[in-house]
Amino acid sequence: MERRSFIGKAAISLVTFAGAVAAISYLRQFFPRLAGEKRRIALGDPRRFPVDTFTFLEEHKLYVYRDHEGIKTVSAICTHLGCILEKSIDGFECPCHGSCYNNEGEVQSGPAPRDLAWYSVRRGADGKIVINPGERVSSDEKFLSS
Amino acid sequence: MENIKRPSGIINRNFFLHIHANRVHVHSMKPTSTFGLGIILGFLFLIMLLTGVILMIYYTPSVETAYQSVKDIVNVVPGGRIIRNMHRWASQGMVIVVFLHLLRVFYTGSYLGGRSLNWVIGVVLLIIILLSNFSGYLLPWDQLAYWAVTIGSNIAASARELTDLLGITNAFDPGGFLKKLLIGGESVGQPALSRFFTLHVIFLPLSMLILLGIHFWRIRKDGGLSRPVRYADDKGSTNKWYAWPVLMWTELGLFLLVVVVVLFIALLADAPLLEQANPSFPENPAKSPWYFLGIQELVSYSAFAGGLLIPVLYLVFLFSIPYRDKEDSYVGLWFSGKSGLKVIKRSAAFAFLLVILQLFVMIRFGWLRDWFPGISQWFVMLINPATITGGLFILMSEVIRRKRQSSRMAALALFTSTFVALVIFTIIGIWFRGPNWEFFWSHNQWPVI
Ligand code: HEM
Ligand code: FES
């Protein structure tokens, strides 16, 4: 009798354990494994951007700013709920709930919880200029394209 | 012999009598007891299923072809336009009627007398209806769809507003987790469409079907619909009528009426279909469907507080009602009599004034960030019309609970005030918000962009 109840309990524990593992691995499938690394973006020839202007890179949802010193890029995605910002006279404006940012990407008004993200611009190993959305920089760091 | 056999014979052969008791109390038959709202909801759901299956045959859930397939349903498939219109209008009908049903069940105190489980199932059904609408919205892959779901999925991620402030997002990110579960990526794309399609055509309707079965079964199990205490022990025959066939004809008539109304609206008005989704340019204003504009208004104060905290608290409140209020003497009585009506009127007036006052201040003078530039996000998140309104309502309802020594009165106050606030925020969102979510008295004043 002793042994039987032991085997019974062991069997139940085993089945429960197997069931739990199966359930967890099943539920795990609902969470996609996303590539952590963000893809770098080729900037191309910096001279294609007009000087003293923010240019919208539609495909990458970025604004590229170029002046006589250099070039820098800022995310065009509102930190509130992800709408695409429009350029206003002295900054950026969100059409969705009216958040406003200045030209440094700092929140001026509205519900946006964070300042905009500036991304690093560097010369890659192959000599091409790339934007790296994985690396954040401050708003006054520019890539000096001599 | 004949006498004993007949009724059960009918029951076995007849689906109708599986839903209704053989005999139903007179009070339940009075139109003003239910206004037939639950039944109407059931019929609308049936229309959703029937039209949905047709749409599903012609629709393709792929970002490349979804938009065109919906265009084809409208322009090429014979009768497709009507089917799509019916599906759309019936779904909005469900949103309206489910809230009316909620109001009727609440104000007649029909969660009382052992009906708490059915109330809870009801709230889950309400959530499922809203989720069905939300997921159905993405499928046409037009501008409205894309941006409504972008905003919606970021609301799911808005717990980040809190975790960012605490500086723990890197270690613990429930917002990102939820968003990933919902749309399968960082931004809305094919994975989101596939997920929403699955939710919309399988998971949600199936859940709704199962829960509806339980919902209907519980009504019988709970001793029929709620009725005032004076009828409580009516086991006698005089106040109970045979459901068959009078009730059947009434409900069949109601069904035809619902179909006719939906069909009529579908013939008159086309369901909107905007331009194809463009991930680079949101509409301005980017408005979600009308029944979510109340939440969109709240979200425009703070994503976390308005989009997550307050709605979740509201749902917690709804779920908890039958567990916090057990004053069964009010069961089945519209508005809980005179004293209840007084509480309802006062809390409605309080809610109206409170919300309008805050909106006035906000629209006229701005809010914290306009007065104190650079103010910490903590204040923006925690002190805004959404949180102030919620906090004061809870306070008011607690005061009433103490003063009147009645949980039903407290529930009446909180339910009424939150509902009035929801309606006002929704109206503001629908008619008084324009480009950049700025306040406008009318659409005519919107600037041309
Ligand atoms: C898909 C959505 C729903 C459907 C189809 C539905 C259907 C029904 C029907 C047919 C009835 C019979 C009485 C009547 O017509 O009013 C009923 C009763 C009831 N419903 Fe719902 N309902 C839904 C959602 C809800 C919601 C959102 C709630 C509340 C949170 C709720 C709570 C109840 C309760 C407590 C009863 C019993 C009322 C009584 O005994 O008088 N239901 N429902
Ligand atoms: S998404 Fe920009 S303000 Fe809401």
A42 has pLDDT over 50? yes
Q: Which residues contact A33 (CB under 8 A, 6 or more apart)?
A: none
Ligand 1: does its nearest atom lie under 6 Å from the Cβ of B74? Answer: no
CATH number of the domain that A109 lies in? 2.102.10.10
A58 has pLDDT over 60? yes
Question: CB B28: neighbour CB atoms within 10 A?
Answer: 21
Instruction: Report yes or no on B52 lying in a domain.
Output: yes
A3 or B3, greater pLDDT: A3
- Same domain for A137 and A93? yes
CA of B10 to the centre of ligand 1 (A): 26
Instruction: Report yes or no on B293 lying in a domain.
Output: no
Q: Is B307 exposed, middle or buried (CB count within 10 Å of its CB: 0-12, 13-18, 19+)?
A: buried
Question: What is the rounded distance in angstroms from the CA atom of residue A90 to the CA atom of residue A102?
Answer: 6
Mapping DSSP to helix (H, G, I), strand (E, B) and coil, where does residue B270 land?
coil
Structure tokens at B176: 């990102």
Instruction: Report yes or no on A35 lying in a domain.
Output: no
- Same domain for B278 and B425? no
Instruction: Report yes or no on B24 lying in a domain.
Output: yes
Instruction: Report yes or no on B249 lying in a domain.
Output: yes
Cβ contacts of A96 on chain B, cutoff 8 Å: 147, 151, 282, 285-286, 437
Instruction: Report yes or no on B294 lying in a domain.
Output: no
Residue type, B429: G
- Same domain for A2 and A46? no
- Same domain for B218 and B188? yes
- Same domain for A61 and A128? yes
Q: Which residues contact B353 (CB under 8 A, 6 or more apart)?
A: none
pLDDT of residue B2: 40
Query: How many beta-carbon contacts under 8 Å exist across A and B?
Result: 91
Mean pLDDT of successive 10-residue stretches along chain B, which has 449 residues: 45 62 80 90 97 96 95 95 97 97 96 94 97 94 91 89 87 88 90 96 97 94 83 70 80 94 96 90 85 92 93 97 93 92 96 96 89 87 94 96 94 97 96 89 79
Question: CB A25: neighbour CB atoms within 10 A?
Answer: 9
- Same domain for A10 and A70? no
pLDDT of residue A39: 78
pLDDT of residue B61: 95
- Same domain for B191 and B57? yes
Domain end point (choices B255, B288, B321) = B288
pLDDT of residue A49: 85
Instruction: Report yes or no on A98 lying in a domain.
Output: yes
- Same domain for A15 and A77? no
- Same domain for B214 and B181? yes
CA of B109 to the centre of ligand 1 (A): 12
Q: Which long-range contacts (CB under 8 A, 24 or more apart) does B395-401 make?
A: B396/B347, B396/B350, B397/B347, B400/B343, B400/B347
- Same domain for B136 and B155? yes
Cβ contacts of A34 on chain B, cutoff 8 Å: 180, 185-186
- Same domain for B232 and B374? no
Nearest residue (by CA) to ligand 1, atom 8, is: B38
Q: Are B303 and A81 a contacting pair at CB < 8 A? A: yes
Atom of ligand 2 nearest to the CA of B299: 4
Mean pLDDT of chain A: 87
Q: Which of B170, B183, B198, B369 to mutate to test the interface with A (most CBs of A within 10 A)?
A: B369
Return the closest-CA partner of residue B413 out of B353, B351, B329. B351
- Same domain for A90 and A47? yes
Domain count for chain B: 2
**Cα of A12 to nearest chain B Cα, Å:** 30
Q: Are A97 and B437 a contacting pair at CB < 8 A? A: yes
CA distances from residue B168 to B76, B159, B174 in whole angstroms, order as listed: 53, 11, 11
Phi then psi for residue B13, to 5 deg, are: -85, -15
CA of B303 to the centre of ligand 2 (A): 9
Question: What is the rounded distance in angstroms from the CA atom of residue B197 to the CA atom of residue B183?
Answer: 11
Instruction: Report yes or no on B439 lying in a domain.
Output: yes
Question: What is the rounded distance in angstroms from the CA atom of residue B427 to the CA atom of residue B433?
Answer: 9
SS3 string of A57-99?
EHHHCEEEEECCCCEEEEECECCCCCCECEEECCEEECCCCCC
Question: What is the rounded distance in angstroms from the CA atom of residue B379 to the CA atom of residue A67?
Answer: 37
Instruction: Report yes or no on A36 lying in a domain.
Output: no
What is the percentage of chain A residues whose pLDDT exceeds 70?
95
- Same domain for B307 and B281? no
pLDDT of residue A33: 79
Domain interval for residue A73? 41-144
CA of B61 to the centre of ligand 2 (A): 28
Q: What is the mean pLDDT of residues A111-129?
A: 87
- Residue B151 in contact with residue B169, Cβ under 8 Å? no
- Same domain for B72 and B178? yes
Ligand 1: does its nearest atom lie under 6 Å from the Cβ of B227? Answer: no
pTM reported for the whole predicted model: 0.90
CA distances from residue A127 to A65, A131, A142, A144, B173 in whole angstroms, order as listed: 21, 13, 17, 14, 37
CATH number of the domain that B23 lies in? 1.20.810.10
- Same domain for A79 and A98? yes
- Residue B71 in contact with residue B273, Cβ under 8 Å? yes
Question: What is the rounded distance in angstroms from the CA atom of residue B98 to the CA atom of residue B93?
Answer: 8
- Same domain for B276 and B389? no
Nearest residue (by CA) to ligand 2, atom 4, is: A97
Handedness of CA B207, B259, B288, B356 (dihedral sign): negative
Domain end point (choices B259, B288, B317) = B288
Q: Is B390 exposed, middle or buried (CB count within 10 Å of its CB: 0-12, 13-18, 19+)?
A: buried
Question: What is the rounded distance in angstroms from the CA atom of residue B360 to the CA atom of residue B364?
Answer: 6
Domain end point (choices B288, B312, B343) = B288
Ligand 1: does its nearest atom lie under 6 Å from the Cβ of B19? Answer: no
Nearest residue (by CA) to ligand 1, atom 35, is: B119
- Same domain for B81 and B100? yes
- Same domain for B226 and B326? no
Instruction: Report yes or no on A106 lying in a domain.
Output: yes
Structure tokens at B79: 């009768």
- Same domain for A9 and A78? no
- Same domain for A24 and A66? no
Pocket test for ligand 1, best of B45, B215, B328 (most atoms within 8 A of CB): B215
Instruction: Report yes or no on B233 lying in a domain.
Output: yes
Instruction: Report yes or no on B273 lying in a domain.
Output: yes
- Same domain for B313 and B416? yes
How high is the ipTM of this complex? Answer: 0.85
Domain interval for residue B101? 1-288
pLDDT of residue B14: 62
Ligand 2: does its nearest atom lie under 6 Å from the Cβ of A78? Answer: yes
Domain count for chain A: 2
CA of B116 to the centre of ligand 1 (A): 12
Residue type, B182: L
Q: Which of B280, B292, B365 to mutate to test the interface with A (most CBs of A within 10 A)?
A: B280
Mapping DSSP to helix (H, G, I), strand (E, B) and coil, where does residue B430 land?
helix
Instruction: Report yes or no on A109 lying in a domain.
Output: yes
Ligand 1: does its nearest atom lie under 6 Å from the Cβ of B226? Answer: yes
pLDDT of residue B33: 84
